[in-house]
Chains A and B, each alone.
Chain A
Amino acid sequence: MTTNFSRFEGTEDYIVSEDLRNSVNVAVALSKPLLLKGEPGTGKTLLAQSIAKALGLQLIIWNIKSTTKAQDGLYVYDTVQRLYDTQFGNKDVSDIKQYIKLGKLGEAFTSEQQVVLLIDEIDKADLEFPNDLLWELDVMNFHIPETSETITAKNRPIVIITSNAEKELPDPFLRRCIFHYISFPEADMMEQIIKVHYPDLENTLLNEALKAFYWIRSQHNLHKKPSTSELLDWVQALSAGGISPDHIYQELPFLGTLLKKNQDFDTILRRVHNRGTGENQQTGTRIFRNW
């Protein structure tokens, strides 16, 4: 039996590993949300864009913040506007429909074409947020009591959900997802990613930058490890600044591009300084190694 679904093969501006590509296709074929987990900068958000592009579908992005409620994704009933209109407006306030505004999920459901719906950074929201969405994602419809309307998905959207793993997600939610963990890219994959963005970058500069970058990442106790985005900015700065490759690892020029927290900046400077004297050679092992 051949299954009938569009296959995601990747796009030229996105480097995708084979098992990630498989996970995408499994999720699409089974009509399950694909949950992507991985530290920031591992290309989770970009993957959703790449999928939409490869399959020629519209992308709808729902950015989750700490204050986002599941309801926001369905619809909001603008009671305040309606109240205002009863007092000052000349609209027909009995037509409640005009005060119902669909959220991103509602938008995805009502779209004439199948869409890719990205629920970005779901872990930012309240611990219970994912559970509140279970029903709608399962049955692909929801009811608006104010207008006695039921919004049903015309085409089941391809749902991509990302998490930076700041919070654990609830089990009932997880059970319904296809899960993929994107590990932080190793140096050779990272090299490819950089080349996608800066195809003309000089090789020695790239290699030195990668060496320095992975050294910094291996240091323990950083508050925020530099990620792909910062590395991309950094190599651009290095290249634009005409930095000679043999100074990169020794001196870490433009370090501020990589490390945004002052404490991290100081920690690394101190360790670069000690690197030569052989005092501080250890790299990032487990945090509680010495307990």
Chain B
Amino acid sequence: MFINFFYLLKREGVPVSITEWMTLMEALSKGMAASSLTSFYYLARAILVKSETNFDKYDLAFSKYFQGIETPAQISDQVLNWLENSLPPLDMNIDLEERLKYQLENLDLNELKKTFEERLKEQKAEHHGGSKWVGTGGTSPFGHSGYHPGGIRVGGASLRRSAVKVAGERKYYEFRGDETLGVRQFEVALRKLRQFTTRLEGPKDLLDLDTTISETCNNAGKLKLVWTRPSKNSVKVILLMDSGGSMGPYYRLCNQLFTAVNKTTQFKSMEIYYFHNCVYDQLYLTPTCRQSESIKTEEFLRTHNSDHKLIFVGDATMAPSELTEVNGIIDWGMTNDEPGLTWLERLAHHFPHNVWLNPVAETYWESSSSYTIQLIKKVFPMFELTVDGLEQAVKKLKVRQ
């Protein structure tokens, strides 16, 4: 049954709803796929898939479901020739439409494939019109330009870039973002991190109702309007992200947070810096941690006052010496005059609103192999990098440590 495509989409992780499926059925009943699998590919995608991050999953499902449909058992050139001579489309009456809709809903694709191959074998001559044979302009589900809504295109303009091939190209692979849901959840959590103030610059164009009422009363009932500035979010955020090798497994998770933070336009300012395992005298501007794109931590501290909220993101997992010893820095050929922990304490002291988000599950934090986590946890309030953890962290960020 055609409905299996719906379930296959769901299984591949495309969040399709019945509402959307019904819309697709309506579109098909209006003849909008023009009986071509390529049109169907785009039509169904436009109706069923609402984010480019799910296009790849759609492509996968489509390839699986329609596998081989367009090139069953090597269509011979002769068959293609027949199909090229199209008849004008049939003028369909309602009855027929209803019938076709019924057929569509009850179409078994494997059966369709099998029948198609059989008919190809049976069919010896060119055929136009009618409802059984492969040809053009009829109501058989095979061939093109016909009006079988579930029809299979076996020729026509888009032969060279068949829908299944388009799907097979998977050109939306890079857009894949299994994390989209997470991003929105992170965003919602981050929204709670706000602090409204009206003491910023800008025109006073908001009616201050309470003051207006009391002023008008004071004015013996004669209206006196009082205007105020709309309140603005005054929160400034600094994100310091570990981009070291051990963070690899958490790439997706961190990327979600990164995306959410970047999308949150409500902060007064938002800056991101990177480090490798621990912060020393340099902070990097890019996750590749290159010398040529870095700033001195001292300068960073000088140019950022203490009202910024500091969010660390890292697994806090490293050799203890990286935290506790002079020259413990992991990067080859680099030195540090002060232990990493001293730098972390300095940052925590400078920015009293601080938290550390850790992608490592909390259950591992107390294990004996997580010594460095325990050390860092003494300096920063630490939370799991999950939606819940972020919510708690946001609460913590509102108060001075």
Residue numbers of A with Cβ under 8 A of B are 1-3, 19, 22-23, 26-27, 29-30, 32, 35, 37, 66-67, 80, 83-84, 86-87, 127, 166-169, 171, 174-181, 183, 220-221, 267, 270, 287-291
Contact = CB atoms under 8 A, between A and B. Distances in A.
A3 B248 contact: no
24 contacts: A22-B43, A26-B27, A26-B32, A29-B32, A30-B23, A30-B27, A30-B47, A37-B52, A66-B265, A83-B223, A86-B223, A87-B222, A167-B187, A169-B50, A171-B50, A175-B19, A175-B50, A177-B50, A179-B49, A181-B51, A287-B255, A288-B254, A290-B245, A291-B250
Contacts of B292: 270
Identify the 6 closest CB pairs spanning chains A and B, nearest first: A174-B50, A181-B52, A291-B247, A168-B184, A179-B50, A23-B46
Contact of B94 (A1, A167, A287, A291): A1
Contacts of A291: 243-245, 247-248, 250-251, 254, 287
B42 A23 contact: yes
Contacts of B266: 66
A233 B50 CA distance: 33
B373 interface: no
B52 A178 contact: no
B243 A290 contact: yes
Nearest to B230: A67
B30 interface: yes
A13 B211 CA distance: 54
Contact of A288 (B26, B147, B180, B287): B287
Contacts of B19: 175-176
B326 interface: no
A82 B267 CA distance: 36
Contacts of B254: 288, 291
B73 interface: no
Interface string B91-130: 1111001000000000000000000000000000000000
A289 B97 contact: no
Contacts of A29: 27, 30, 32
Contacts of A166: 263, 265
Given A1-B97, A175-B20, A127 B243 contact: no
Interface of B is mostly: helix
A168 B187 CA distance: 9
Identify which of A179, A180, A289 gathers the most chain B CB atoms within 10 Å of its CB.
Answer: A179
A290 B265 contact: no
Contacts of B184: 167-168
Contacts of A22: 39, 42-43, 46
B369 interface: no
B310 to A, nearest CB: 20
Interface of B: 15, 17, 19-20, 23, 26-27, 29-32, 39, 42-43, 46-47, 49-52, 55, 91-94, 97, 147, 180, 183-184, 187-188, 191, 207, 222-223, 225, 230, 243-245, 247-248, 250-251, 254-255, 258, 263, 265-266, 285-289, 292-293
A221 B294 CA distance: 13
Given A168-B51, A168-B183, A291-B244, 12 more contacts: A1-B29, A1-B92, A19-B42, A22-B39, A30-B26, A30-B47, A37-B51, A80-B207, A127-B191, A175-B17, A287-B255, A288-B287
A291 B252 CA distance: 10
A80 B225 contact: yes
A157 B55 CA distance: 28
Nearest to A123: B263
A289 B248 contact: no
Contacts of B265: 66, 166
Contacts of B287: 287-291
B286 A179 contact: no
A155 B27 CA distance: 21
A86 B216 CA distance: 14
A287 B258 contact: yes
A178 B30 contact: no
Contacts of B47: 26, 30, 178-179
Nearest to A223: B262
Contacts of B50: 35, 169, 171, 174-175, 177, 179
Contacts of A180: 46
A26 B43 contact: yes
Contacts of B17: 175
A83 B216 CA distance: 12
Contacts of A86: 223
Given A178-B46, A290-B289, A2 B31 contact: yes
Contacts of B20: 175
B30 A1 contact: yes
A183 to B, nearest CB: 8
A80 B180 CA distance: 43
B11 to A, nearest CB: 19
A179 B223 CA distance: 50
Contacts of A181: 51-52, 55
Contact of B30 (A3, A23, A27, A87): A3
A288 B248 CA distance: 9
Identify which of A1, A26, A181 gathers the most chain B CB atoms within 10 Å of its CB.
Answer: A1
A82 B217 CA distance: 18
Contacts of B191: 127
B187 to A, nearest CB: 7
A289 B30 contact: no
